[in-house]
Amino acid sequence: MKKQFVLSEGIKEKINSWLKKYPPEQVRSALLPALHIVQDAHKGSLTEAALEAIADYLQLPKVAVFEVATFYSMYNLKPVGQHQINLCTNVSCMLNHSEKIYKHLKKKLGVSDNETTADGKFTLRQVECLAACAAAPVCMINKTYHGNLTPEKIDIILEELS
């Protein structure tokens, strides 16, 4: 039997603050922030039951919520580590040696793409352009951008997070 997922009053209040920004017929506009709110409140990931609860609350078809949640890499549909390392490997970053950073991270953390370290601390993920190409190579760890990366710089960042 599927586990019931209940949106807390606090979460509903936060979602309601977004709903107020749009006309009633544009409820779908609050979907992206609603997904973020629920994800942030539940260890950084969204279960199927959570997506269904969001669909019910916003009175949207479940498929519409699932489509959005599965399209964007910023939503996690499986458990993630305490810190999520999203490393851009798109063109500008690739030309500035993001592959070297990626290999370094994989070796250092002992994980492959979209995997979490055994201690649950870090999840490593390659992502498309993070819109910060001027600072390539770039990664976003949780919600913070780090640019002009080198293996040495990423070591310092990880050390501070450990």
Least distance to ligand FES, CB of residue 87, Å: 9
Instruction: Confirm or reject binding of residue 51 to ligand FES (CB under 6 A).
Output: no
Helix (H) or strand (E) holding 124: strand 122-127
Least distance to ligand FES, CB of residue 91, Å: 5
Amino acid at 82: Q
Q: Which is nearer to ligand FES, 68 or 88 (CB)?
A: 88
Q: Which is nearer to ligand FES, 88 or 111 (CB)?
A: 88
Give the footprint of ligand FES on residues 121-140 (CB under 6 A). 129-130, 132-133, 136, 138
Helix locations, 46-111, DSSP H: 48-58, 62-71, 91-95, 98-109
Instruction: Confirm or reject binding of residue 92 to ligand FES (CB under 6 A).
Output: yes
Instruction: Confirm or reject binding of residue 88 to ligand FES (CB under 6 A).
Output: yes
Q: CA 69, 75, 79, 82: dihedral to nearest 10 degrees?
A: -170
Instruction: Confirm or reject binding of residue 87 to ligand FES (CB under 6 A).
Output: no
Residue 154 burial (CB < 10 Å; 0-12/13-18/19+)? Answer: buried
